[in-house]
């Protein structure tokens, strides 16, 4: 039996590298373009590298030949587009808004979910299974169906164009309750019984025994909730009209329509919008990957 020249794992490795290039190309395009001037971007949309970093351009410029480095703006600060995106597009404010929304949604939703999941996992009460099924049934409803009526409810509550209008519908999450209940059910009840003998009530047991044991699943769920809240677009687009309250996603879309021609600036704003979650992901990766396997287990 003759051994093939390329082993399967070598082919796999090369294919994965090609795939990685495909996955990262749009990011390279975005970052590269964000450092170009408008003219540089208009003249060459395919080269990812800004002219000031291209050796051929630098060489031509040094020889005194005409090059892209003669165009106006070539000597501007590298970060000009970023500074302009903040100065003229208040991207910093949108980022702060997104951060506030995502933190509040995550904190409140986790708190409510822990309470409900604990009751469903550990307490006996009339209608428990019925109420739990009812809660799970809401996962079947596509958000697109709820968009209009949720807007009407929020309008009825007088919360259109307010912080609470954006946040309130996101404070509940049936999936989180489902996930946490499954986790709580697997915690050995002997621990709780020991605490009960020591005189702990259900509130004390929840926060002193169950909560500390659930930290990994809470971190995973919290990260997913945070990412979902950071990326939400359609709901704030519908609820908000005051531009000062826009989260990053809506702000970017608005910034784009205001700066239609200035794409390098739009890309600079996009980079600022993408970076925070990527940093969060790099720090918390192991919890996320574990969490995906967790959600896949529902299958």
Partner 1 sequence: MNLRRRLVPYLYIAPAFALTLVFSFVSMGISLYASFHHFDAFAGSSAFVGFDNYRRALWAPDSYFWVTMRNTGLYVIMTVVGVIATALPLALLCQRAPRGQALFRTLYFLPSITPGVVIALVFYHIFGVWGQLLDKAHTALPALALLGIWAGAGYNMVIFLAGLSDIPQHFYDAAKVDGANRWQQFRHITIPMLRNTLVFVAVMTIIGSFQVFTSVYIMTLGGPERSTEVIAYTIFINAFAVAGQMGYASALAWLLFAAVFVFVLVQMRVFRSRKVYDE
- Site for partner 1, residues 134 to 163, rule: CB under 8 A: 135, 138, 140-153, 155
Kindly tell me which residue out of 1, 123, 197, 261 binds partner 1, with binding defined by CB under 8 A. Answer: 123
Check if the beta carbon of residue 249 is closer than 8 Å to that of residue 236. yes
Question: Could you tell me the two tokens for 200?
Answer: 């702990």
124 binds partner 1 (CB under 8 A): yes
Q: Which is nearer to partner 1, 51 or 236 (CB)?
A: 236
Nearest to 221 by CA among 131, 128, 284: 284
Give the separation between CA 14 and CA 202, rounded to whole angstroms. 56
Q: 272-291: which residues touch partner 1 (CB under 8 A)?
A: 273-274, 277-278, 280-282, 285, 288-289
Q: Is 221 in the site for partner 1 (CB under 8 A)?
A: no
Q: Which residues inside 161-180 make contact with partner 1, applying CB under 8 A?
A: 168-169, 171-174, 177
Are the C-beta atoms of residues 252 and 68 closer than 8 Å to each other?
no
- The nearer residue to partner 1, 14 or 62, going by C-beta atoms, is 14
- Terminal-to-terminal C-alpha distance of the chain: 41
Least Cβ distance, residue 18 to partner 1 (angstroms): 10
Stretch that binds partner 1, among 73-81, 85-93, 132-140, 188-196 (CB under 8 A): 132-140
Q: What is the rounded distance in angstroms from the CA atom of residue 123 to the CA atom of residue 167? A: 29
Q: Is 261 in the site for partner 1 (CB under 8 A)?
A: no
| Token digits of residue 84 | 């302009």
Rule CB under 8 A: say whether 115 interacts with partner 1: yes
Which of 183, 210, 270, 287 touches partner 1 by CB under 8 A? 270
Contact status, residue 225 vs residue 109, Cβ threshold 8 Å: yes
Query: Does residue 197 bind partner 1 (CB under 8 A)?
Result: no
Kindly tell me which residue out of 162, 202, 243, 259 binds partner 1, with binding defined by CB under 8 A: 202
Report whether 75 contacts 92 (CB < 8 A): no
């Amino acid at each position: 039996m003759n051994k093939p020249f390329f082993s399967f794992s070598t082919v796999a490795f090369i294919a994965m590298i090609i795939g990685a290039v495909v996955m990262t190309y749009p990011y390279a395009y975005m970052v590269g373009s964000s450092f170009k001037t408008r003219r540089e971007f208009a003249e060459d949309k395919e080269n990812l590298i800004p002219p000031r970093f291209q050796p051929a351009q630098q060489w031509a410029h040094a020889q005194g030949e005409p090059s892209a480095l003669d165009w106006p703006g070539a000597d501007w600060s590298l970060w000009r587009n970023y500074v302009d995106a903040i100065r003229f597009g208040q991207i910093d404010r949108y980022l702060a808004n997104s951060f506030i929304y995502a933190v509040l949604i995550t904190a409140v939703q986790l708190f409510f979910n822990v309470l409900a999941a604990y009751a469903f996992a550990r307490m006996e009460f009339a209608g428990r299974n019925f109420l739990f099924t009812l809660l799970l049934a809401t996962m079947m409803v596509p958000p697109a169906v709820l968009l209009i009526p949720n807007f009407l409810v929020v309008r009825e509550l007088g919360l259109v164009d307010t912080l609470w209008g954006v946040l309130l519908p996101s404070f509940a999450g049936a999936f989180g309750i489902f996930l946490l209940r499954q986790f709580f059910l697997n915690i050995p009840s002997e621990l709780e019984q020991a605490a009960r003998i020591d005189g702990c009530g259900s509130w004390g047991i929840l926060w002193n025994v169950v909560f500390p044991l659930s930290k990994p699943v809470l971190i995973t769920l919290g990260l997913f909730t945070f990412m979902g809240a950071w990326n939400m677009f359609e709901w704030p687009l519908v609820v908000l009209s005051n531009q000062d309250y826009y989260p990053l996603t809506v702000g970017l879309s608005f910034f784009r329509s205001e700066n239609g021609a200035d794409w390098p600036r739009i890309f600079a704003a996009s980079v600022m919008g993408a970076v925070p979650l990527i940093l969060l992901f790099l720090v918390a990766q192991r919890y996320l990957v574990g969490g995906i396997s967790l959600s896949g287990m529902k299958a």
